[in-house]
Chains A and B, each alone.
Chain A
Amino acid sequence: MKIAGTKCLPLMLTLLLAPIALFSQNKDNDQAAPVAGVVEMGSRWSWGDVYGRPDLPFDPSLKTSKYNEYRDLRDGFFIPRVRLTMDDIAGSKYFLDVQSNNAIYRDQSYLATFGAWNRFRVQFRYDEIPHTYTNTARTPYTQTAPGVLTIPLLTRNSLQALAASPLLPSTIQTQLVPSMNFIVPAIERRAGTFMFAYDLTPDWDLLASYSREHETGTRPLGLIFNSSPSAALSGGYGAEVPEPIDYFNNLVRVRAEYVRKRWAIQIGYTGSFFQNNRNALFFDNPFRTTDCVAPVGCTAATQGPARGEVDLYPDNHAHYINVAGTLLLMKHLRLLFSINAGWLRQDDPFVPYTTNTLLLAGTGPLPASSLHGEKQTLAMNYKLIQSLGKKFEIKAGYRQYDYNNDTPVLSFTPVEGDSGAASLTSPEENTPFGYNRKNVEVTGNWYYAKKSSVKVGYEGEIMDRSNRDVEHSTENGFVAAIDSAPRKDLSFRVSYRYSARNPEQYQDDQAAETAGGITNDQIFSRRFDEATRTRNRGDAEIQYSPTDRLSFSGFAGTLQDNFNHQGGVNSPTPLNFIAGTSYPYYLYGVLKDLSYNAGFDSDFSLTNAITLFAEYSYERYYKAMASRYRVPGGATPLPLDCSAAGHGCDSANNDWGSTARDYVHIFAVGWDTHFSKKTDLDTYYTLSAAKGNVDSRPFGNPTLLTGPDKFLLTGTNAAVDYPETVSRNHQVVAVFRYKVTNNLTSKVEYRYQQFDSKDYQTSAMTPYMGCVSPLPPGAPVPGCTSPLLGTPSPFYPYFLVGDTSAARYLFLGADQPSYRAHYLAATVEYHF
């Protein structure tokens, strides 16, 4: 993309800098200046390479890589910042403040404020935020009309002819993929905000603002044409497409405040209006050119719609009214309160059940033309603060958040995936979800010495939900903290929290219903956000500054959630298939969620001219879960028997567990050197290194290969460890400044960034991932007869870059590969 604002550059600069010419005076810095400011401008260059994907038949661009994920670092002239302030315009009480960051580029920002001191302010803000998702995407789709993605009919005809053929993978890989268009899925947010604040009197403030944001671009969206993608070429198609984004966000705020000596009140209104200019997205089925339902004109393996339709995010709007204030009830008793009521609405017209014309005729009528979705929120906060003498303080707080869902319950006959007929006899109802959360907090502080205190308190939560598994739960806990400053140069804090959450009852409706001989949900499946939980949290911090030259701070903390409790709403006995295990579990779902962190930060002034700093932090995350592989039976599902075809299978011998571990090291070291009054050099190196492991293992007896408890976690059902993911970000920075005159400073900035990413989920992505056999020693993809096609990922040479269930799924091939980037900028900074 060309620099859109290049033509505007002279105008922008004129607008920004004209006041300087008009008002600035060449005064000594000590004198009051009516105009002051800074302009920095110069030139910059980036170069480097994206080296993470040598397997790709093209070189991804550095400028659209993760290096530029949220930025626009194009080469050439740039204006990093401008700021102009005029304290008293022409000797009046009016002021003007104008500033910009990265003017004329796609990540530019502007802020202009005009006002009269102590009277009013008018402010305009404009911001652009780019977000580039990937630089490796290719797609056969083009947008031929707003919200319509199409593929040439010729291509679709070819694919349809091979839709059930073993030749399909090689045809896609060798003919379709090379002809795909390169795209850069990216969005851009452009937001302008106008604000007016008026101090009616010293006690009265009024504020009004209006903000409008336009979000445009594309982002990856995964879609399928059937209820699931294909399984061994027997049915189902999928495509990842560039979802067109064209949103408008309008935000209106009005607020009035009134303050007296003993009380203050704030009343406000916020209106938020979301408008999606693409209500729905139509996308061609790459593998079918006509709607078809087996057995007429097609088979189960080739049936499907000619195109799909997804309902993109519907327009919605919300209105909030807020009243907040403080009141000094007695000399040492203060009340703080806030009440915020909200009304959320959504009434976008429904799209049809399906785009498959053959199925549409068989669907029932829609129960309504739109949802008439309605929610009301009510947030109430009250806090009393009582001082007891000089050393004690008690706080009591009550918070309630009511999320009340009045959306009507409607009955639908969905056509999942546009291939299977709607079931008119078993309609599905939406289940409007709501909740009410109440929190109580009572804490006492004892300020026993300067900057030193002890805090103890109780925290409680009552949660009520509708249309979820746990309708009522309570959580009780306590908190204790010590802040201490035993010396002027030393302070530390230690805090601890404990809480226990207890659901009154866990009623998963799906666990009471059966299909194929087994319950729809595992009866001891517990969702972690509702389940029984004990939480322990400990934190410690220390700050030490023995001299003006040295400061040190350190921290350590842990958060430990344990869900694996015996009894209550969980199982009273271990669920393990193998009795007497050393690691019993009493639920399915998350068992433990633990995190640990520690680190330090230190600054040291070696001399008046040299300052050093160093930082390090370590984090570890650990999450363990348990699950069970279950298979519903066919026409005669009972008795349950994992070894008999057609029978339901629900045996603890097919339980499996998984742990997710993440390790993160962050390291930074640098120094600032002031060679003279005119020259300084800042340098630093930072490293962010993260590793992740997802490991899985069966909990049952793998040798039991017959009988009702037959072990099934083999082959494509095996619980396996995934390859380690690695993410490292190195950065070396050197900034050299030379003060040419009192008003002029030159700056040379060099940065080197290296991003290393090895992620098995994306590092092998290409537009086609289906049915590609791996190189040995990787196991062959079951059911796949095609030879290896393309070049395997260099990071995962034995990665099974294929899945029979992705045989008829076209991806974008989205990845954010590793890169090395050099950045050099030379600027001058002029102060006036």
Chain B
Amino acid sequence: MSAPLAGLSVRRRLLRNFSLLFVGTIVVLSLFYLWASWNNRDAEADDELEEIASIVVAKAERGPDGRVRLHYGPKRQELLADVKGLQVFVYDPVNKEVLIEQPVGMRKGLPLSPEIAWKFAFLVVDRDSEPERPRLQLLLATLDSPAGPLQVAVGRDEPHDTLQPRWVAYTVMREVLPVIGPILLLAIGIALYTLTKALAPVAKAAEEANRITVDTMGKRLDTAVPAEIRPLVAAFNRALDRLDAGFAEQRRFTANAAHELRTPLALLRARLDGMGDADAAESFRPDLQRMTRLIEQLLAVSRLDSHMPMAKGDVDLVDIAGDVVARMAPLAVAEDKQVSLTAPDHPVRLYGNADALSAAVRNLVENALRFTPAGSTVEVVVADGPHLAVHDAGPGIPAEDRPHLFERFWRGRNRQGGAGLGLAIVAEVIALHGGRIAVDKSPMGGALFDVTFGAPPAAAE
């Protein structure tokens, strides 16, 4: 099939081709049938004349006076009236009486004479007097009737000089369709049934493929499909093998990188903490902290990219936010800033990973602390929803920067410090928990990061 048809359903293609076959067969067979009938048309016309003649005399009856009456009722008359250019002549040889002559005077110009004892004969008579009309086809016969032998002449305009559409339609409907139709319909039915049965595993495989995500690694499509489809399914499964291997490799790399990068940092940190010269140690600390933060963020990005499976469970957002605020408070106080938490007395439940969420909240608070001026407070607000907001009293975020804020490595103007990864990580972690993050202006004057999670699933997964 050519390219434009590539997307067309096999079922529709089959149906279309079968329909073409159906129509083609009917046309060919009809043409053949018509051709055969055409060749045979004289014989058929003769049969028809014979039938008309027998109808005319079928109910003939000789009365007590010895005269013959034909008794053909209105129904028969109507039938005979339908035949184009019909002419009927009936003669009783016993009484030497003309019983019908229709139209009157038809004998003139015809080889008819009451005296002849008619044989069964078919004639074709040219009508010299009326050259416009078709030739006359004529039956001359002596027929046995209930009233004894009657001489009958039946004539009609010779038919079939041209193909009559009605006759063609009649022939097709009557002679071709009843034979060919059922066979073709049956063939289409069988083909569609077979196809539907054969394609069912394909639909099932598609459904299975739809359920495959990075969290269902190792899952493969069922290869119990028709032989024609099996190579495709097998190839798909091999592609999944390669993807899984790639993911596994990246996860291994991330895990190893985490260990290898953090170990020297731990060493450096321990060395710094143990240094006698406190001033010198303090001068290194911001650099170490920045390095640590960057490495943690790169590892987080790598973890997100390799779709590391996250152990999710029932977590309390109040608990997580409280923990983050407690951890950040010493840093805030060191810079003469404050962090505070406003939360309901009851837990705000969420289905998720506590560490990932904690890292996200921590990033938001770190960010807010960086921009809020000394002497001001960063407010973390947790509410039912689940909902979390982080307010600061910093310069806020210009509207034109907001669309880019959550892009990786994006750093606005006048930004010091960060690598531009923190908020990207936050957005991704929140998205993984079915939440949304929005930026707005805080009533406190600075930026407001507003996180809304989906309603907590009652009993997820």
A and B associate in one complex: no
